[in-house]
């Protein structure tokens, strides 16, 4: 795959320094070191050492590179080029620390991570987890360094309400749809065109349903997404039941696209065939054997206090999983689908209808408010919450008919 964030411009001075004989050091021995090392290798270079403020790590090695204290490293390499490979929220404090130590050439890992080639075996963690970390990195990088830029970590693109499974506890509420339908491609992309003119960058489009491969023209949505210039990657979600073929397979053979398969044992009967097909066509994929789910699919009014609502939202693992359903943008999949089946009333201040009535700057301001200012949403009152500490349920427990649900008007 190829990772590209076009908001990070090429730095000619940095690229020139990499061609000199000056030593290069990394600062930060955490999660972003390995992809930064890969990025530097692709620029035909490598670090001589890694600096870290954690005294317990001094003298040890990471990726076969010695970890040094800041003072020791800069004594050994006083003219070194320093690339900060820590989390974005620490970049400014580390830069100030290095300036106080007399360092002149200070850069950060965004210059390495913004254009990176890799495959699903390049990292110690799964490719989907690495994507999650990339997205978090750049979201925070721009939040701390260029706060006027609007970066979306992910955007769910719902292309169908239909699913090949009937899971009782689906967190996206597919079990409540009685007459599921495909999403009109023109309605969807008229809305998305407007959204993409209003944001600076989307890290990941997530194409899903339901089951995305159940849509015979899934490829049309994926190919339309690829026409935008301000995104990094496309991921298509699968439950391992349908083998993509013909155009639905061919649209995946691009270096900006991968497949994320959630396999639920015997009911995901075609997982081996899907994996074989993806490998035959050199398509990156992430396969996860899923045995448990969070208990978060019951739509019920909880009577939470404001403090409890804020806690529910702050601990939710899907709290900023923006979801585009038809022509409306929602803060999360629960809100989107609950309103779509008329289980919850629409709250105008918490939904962005992407039509001609809103200007691009108004959409951007509404998104800033949703992502940066809101401490909870009305739907949090009806959702069980999605904390990592919740007691798990058996994943993908099957039912025969759509599940009943209550409809709330206020």
Query: Residue 50 is encoded by which pair of tokens?
Result: 């890694």
DSSP class of residue 223 equals H
pLDDT of residue 177: 98
CB 322 within 8 A of CB 331: yes
Phi/psi for 98 (5° steps) reads -70, -40
Q: What is the mean pLDDT of residues 228-254?
A: 98
CB 228 within 8 A of CB 253: no
pLDDT above 80 (res 409) = yes
- Catalogue all structural domains in the chain, each as residue range(s) with its CATH number: 2-117 (3.40.50.720), 150-394 (3.20.20.70)
Chain segment 44-54, per-residue pLDDT in tens: 999 999 999 99
pLDDT of residue 3: 85
Cα–Cα distance measured from residue 113 to residue 108, given in angstroms and rounded to the nearest whole number: 9
191 CB-near residues (< 8 Å, 6+ apart): 324, 326, 327, 328, 329, 354, 355
Least Cα distance to 211 among 188, 180, 247, 185 occurs for 180
Cα–Cα distance measured from residue 289 to residue 266, given in angstroms and rounded to the nearest whole number: 11
CB 398 within 8 A of CB 170: no
Q: At what angle do helices 218-225 and 185-196 cross, to 10 degrees?
A: 20
Chain segment 110-151, per-residue pLDDT in tens: 999 999 999 888 998 999 999 999 999 999 999 999 999 999
Chain segment 280-330, per-residue pLDDT in tens: 999 999 999 999 999 999 999 999 999 999 999 999 999 889 999 999 999
CB 296 within 8 A of CB 390: yes
CB 295 within 8 A of CB 393: yes
pLDDT of residue 363: 97
**Mean of the per-residue pLDDT values for the chain?**
95
Predicted model pTM:
0.95
């Amino acid at each position: 795959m190829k990772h590209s964030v076009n908001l990070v411009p090429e730095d000619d001075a940095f690229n020139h320094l990499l061609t000199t004989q000056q030593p290069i050091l990394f600062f930060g021995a955490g999660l972003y070191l390995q992809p930064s090392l890969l990025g530097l290798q692709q620029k035909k270079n490598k670090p001589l050492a890694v600096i870290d403020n954690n005294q317990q790590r001094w003298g040890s090695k990471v990726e076969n590179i010695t970890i040094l204290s800041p003072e020791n490293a800069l004594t050994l390499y006083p003219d070194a080029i320093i690339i900060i490979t820590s989390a974005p929220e620490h970049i400014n404090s580390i830069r100030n620390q290095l300036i106080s130590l007399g360092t002149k050439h200070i850069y950060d890992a965004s210059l390495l991570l913004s254009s990176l080639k890799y495959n699903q075996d390049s990292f110690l963690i799964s490719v989907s987890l690495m994507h999650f970390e990339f997205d978090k990195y750049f979201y925070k990088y721009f939040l701390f360094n260029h706060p006027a830029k609007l970066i979306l970590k992910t955007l769910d693109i719902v292309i169908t309400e239909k699913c090949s499974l009937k899971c009782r506890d689906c967190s996206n509420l597919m079990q409540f749809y009685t007459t599921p339908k495909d999403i009109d491609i023109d309605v969807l992309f008229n809305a998305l065109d407007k959204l993409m003119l209003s944001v600076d960058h989307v890290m990941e489009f997530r194409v899903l349903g339901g089951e995305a491969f159940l849509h015979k023209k899934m490829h049309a949505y994926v190919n339309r997404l690829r026409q935008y210039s301000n995104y990094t990657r496309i991921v298509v979600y699968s439950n391992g039941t349908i083998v993509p073929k013909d155009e639905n397979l061919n649209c995946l053979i691009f270096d900006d696209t991968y497949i994320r398969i959630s396999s639920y044992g015997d009911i995901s009967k075609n997982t081996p065939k899907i994996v074989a097909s993806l490998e035959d066509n050199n398509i990156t994929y992430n396969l996860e054997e899923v045995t448990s789910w969070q208990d978060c699919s019951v739509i019920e009014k909880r009577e939470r206090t404001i403090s409890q609502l804020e806690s529910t939202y702050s601990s939710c693992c899907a709290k900023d999983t923006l979801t585009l359903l038809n022509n409306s943008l929602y803060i999360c999949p629960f809100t989107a689908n609950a309103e779509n089946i008329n289980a919850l009333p629409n709250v105008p201040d918490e939904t962005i209808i992407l039509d001609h009535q809103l200007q691009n700057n108004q959409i951007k301001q509404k998104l800033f408010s949703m992502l940066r200012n809101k401490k909870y949403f009305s739907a949090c009152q009806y959702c069980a919450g999605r904390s990592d500490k919740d007691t798990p349920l058996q994943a993908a427990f099957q039912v025969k008919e759509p599940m009943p649900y209550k409809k709330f008007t206020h």
